[in-house]
Amino acid sequence: MLKNYLKIGWRNLMKDKTFTFLNVVGLSVAFGVAILLSMAAFFDLSYDNFHENGDRIYQVYSTQQTPKGPEAGTSQPAPFADALRSEVPGVDKITRFLEQEALTIYGEKEINLNGVWLDSAFFEMFTFPVLKGNKNNPMQEKSSVVITEETSNKLFGSAEAIGETIAILIDGKEEPFTVAAVVGNHDRQNSLEFEIAIPFESHAGYLENMETWNAQYHQVFMQLQSGVSAQQFEKNTRSFVDLHYKETIEDLKRDGAIADSDGQYRQIGLLPLKDVHFASFRKGYAEVVRIVPYLILGVAFLILFIACVNFINMSIAKSAQRLREIGMRKTLGAQKKQLFFQFWSESLFVFLASVAIGILLCALLIDSFKTMFRTDISLDMLSSPFAILGIFTVVFLITLLVGGYPALSLSRLGTIQSLKGKLESSGNNRVRNILMVVQFGIAILLISGTLVLWGQVDYMRNKDLGFEKEQVLSFPIDGKKNSYEAIQLLREELVGNPDILSVTASSNNLGRGKDGSQHTSIWGFDYKERGVSTHTLVVDYDYLETLGLELVQGRSFDKNYAGDTQSVIINESMAQELGEPDPLSAFLPMSDSLRLPIIGVVKDYNFQDVSKSIEPLTFFLDRDSGLSYAFVKVAPVNMASSFEAVERAWKKIEPNAEFLGSFLDENVDRTFRREKTMATMIASGSIIAIALSCIGLFAMSLLIVAQRTKEIGVRKVLGASVSSITVLLTKDFLKLVLISFFIASPIAWYFLKQWLENYAYKIDLGLWFFVAAGLLAMVIALLTVGTRTIRAAMQNPVKSLRTE
């Protein structure tokens, strides 16, 4: 019986090759794209899931109520971790975690490694398998380090790494360390990436901050004891906070901060490890947002849904051609379930072929997909039992639902009605119309999202950020030399080049450079009996001039004024924060005995991501603090040769350092890479959704024209024009697109408005975005249907009337 079903099903499919081809093409593309998108989404959702104790590990963060609202962050002071473990019950293991590049020296090799400074409990908490060396406690000795397998290959090649001595540049000195263990290269879905792990106590700032509670500069991860909940532990920390942050809490009360619902001014919170990759603290609390992977899954579902709608609509539209077949089968004794399985087997053929072709397309397109969406997915993900079971389950359910609905409709037809070849089409047409409305509504939704996202990306890319970004090159200052000495040597190397306009440096980059580093430093102090906080930036001479920052008051740092090393420059937001009529008359209290005069006020500029509002900023000319990034302003001509000249000069100064130069406009672009990825993804989804909708629309127009061939002939004989017949055949489709527009536009407006609320600077959500999406969908639908209907309207009426 099964063989008979399959044989007849195959014959029926081959009988109408056009519709079979359209169905297979649409479903194949949909399955291929859906598999790729789903792989990317599940890859992202699987971050940090490989740690054996992951369900008990949390990142510690702090929240405090300020006069401006709640503020949250993960930075903690050096004594915090030990005090929390000894004073609050429930801690099983705890570790400090500080990411910072480490210049590592072995023989003639000097390599800047992605270093982490942490406590020995780290390798007991997290699952990083030890391949060689001490497996019990690889960082038991304070002079020991742990490296990854890839780092071992970089430093030692094929030689044994365990027991070898390397040097790490710490505070300008080469400190010796012994390699105690080599761990496996990290899983790709890992938020705690590193190339070398170094004892926290060896960090340059540890000794001066080991007892200081107001210097917050590292993260803390904690593993709770079995049976202890995160909520209970957070409650247990209240007395700990009241003890160690008593002065801070009093200052918050003095400044007018309002306590939270529990009467607390400062709280300790725990963020589960599985949420770390998706967490943001910019709204004053731990906000876990998985919008990107869920959006990817949503687009995959919508594309697959559109293809399935096409299949259902074409199956229903073709049902009239098989009425007599159904009547004969019923006359000969066929039961409803037999008819159901007969028609469902035809759907199964189409879906199995489509899935096979879809997987092949997935394999062919995966490299391009990885480049476009910056993901590390691989085809190995499809070979896992979970993936295989998931694909088969999804295909079976889709086949049962999508292929089963037309099969059920056909199998329930009466024998007499079938033999007459007449079908009550009102119910089927209603289903078809509803599905087409949903189909084009999805397309309009995706087009609207594409237009708004690209509009926001373009706005952020072209917004005046307040500094020169096209002609300024930045790169990290890596190497053995003192940063100030290295910058001075760079000036001397480039002084004779007419295309090099100025050279400077600072403690932080603008945007995100090729090294991927991005951090901030905040200084809080009391000013006239109220708390004030400001971002801080250590700069070298000519910083304002190189970046093109505008002075609104005062002057810049000047080499001719020795006292400038004990002075500061602030931005307009900081001046407003101080509340002085004349900011140049104010002094900032660096300590009880040192007050720094303000010598200049800079116009506000976006020194953080463009998505954030501009906050107070203070510039220091502090020779005791290191510089991290160099900035070179070049002439607008010969920029490529200027880039090469800077690279050659830096290689001469630091021959073993890697040159990671990029222009600031590139750095700024990297800060909204997520937005560009989302826009590209939704744009790609829109194109595919429109293409699939057009396939379905084209197939429907073929069927409807075929069904109304005689009507067209009669109308032409009676004098109907080509245009009137074309309008007659297309108006019903255009009505459906119009209904889709009125349904989809408010939904798109609501969600896009919510998304834009995440940005301090954003585009206006104008009506034209949605009108343009609706018009585009209507034009595409008109072109798709119109080509076939015009051809039918121009056909010889004699030929039409002869059609049986």
Domain boundaries, the chain: 479-659
Give the whole-angstrom CA distance, residue 52 versus residue 184: 15
What is the 3-class SS of 334-366, one letter each residue?
CCHHHHHHHHHHHHHHHHHHHHHHHHHHHHHHH
Are the C-beta atoms of residues 312 and 402 closer than 8 Å to each other?
yes
pLDDT score of 573: 94
Are the C-beta atoms of residues 155 and 109 closer than 8 Å to each other?
yes
pLDDT score of 426: 46
User: Residues 464-489: pLDDT tens digits?
Assistant: 899 998 999 999 998 888 889 999 99
List Cα–Cα distances, 353 to 26, 356, 780, in angstroms: 12, 5, 28
Give the whole-angstrom CA distance, residue 260 versus residue 250: 15
* Residue 92 burial class via C-beta count within 10 angstroms: exposed 0-12, middle 13-18, buried 19 and up: middle
Residue 803 has phi, psi (to 5 degrees) of -65, 130
DSSP-based three-state secondary structure for 256: coil
Residue 565 has phi, psi (to 5 degrees) of -70, -15
Rounded to a whole number of angstroms, the CA Rg of the chain reads 34
Give the whole-angstrom CA distance, residue 431 versus residue 414: 20
Give the whole-angstrom CA distance, residue 110 versus residue 129: 26
Are the C-beta atoms of residues 443 and 596 closer than 8 Å to each other?
no
Are the C-beta atoms of residues 79 and 211 closer than 8 Å to each other?
yes
Q: Kindly state the DSSP code that residue 225 receives in the 8-state scheme.
A: P
Closest CA to 146 of 130, 167, 160: 130
List Cα–Cα distances, 657 to 108, 253, 265, 337, 413, in angstroms: 12, 49, 46, 74, 78
Helices (H), 654-766: 664-671, 673-707, 709-717, 722-756
Give the whole-angstrom CA distance, residue 433 versus residue 440: 11
Structure tokens at 571: 């931005």
pLDDT score of 69: 87
User: Residues 526-566: pLDDT tens digits?
Assistant: 888 888 889 999 999 999 999 999 999 999 999 988 888 89
432 CB-side CA count, 13 A: 24
Structure tokens at 653: 């100064």
Taking the alpha carbons at both ends of the chain, their separation in whole angstroms is 34
DSSP-based three-state secondary structure for 393: helix
* Residue 766 burial class via C-beta count within 10 angstroms: exposed 0-12, middle 13-18, buried 19 and up: exposed
Q: Count the residues in the chain.
A: 804
Would you say the C-alpha torsion 7, 12, 18, 22 has a positive or negative sign? Answer: negative
Check residue 377 and give left, alpha or beta (phi > 0: left; psi -120 to 50: alpha).
Answer: beta
pLDDT score of 336: 61
Structure tokens at 146: 């742990």
pLDDT score of 537: 93
455 CB-side CA count, 13 A: 18
**Model pTM score:** 0.83
Residue 660 has phi, psi (to 5 degrees) of -120, 60
Residue 684 has phi, psi (to 5 degrees) of -65, -40
DSSP-based three-state secondary structure for 79: coil
> Which parts of the chain register pLDDT below 70?
1-16, 187, 316-340, 342-343, 403-429, 699-723, 725-726, 728-729, 786-804
Residue with tokens 């101080």: 578
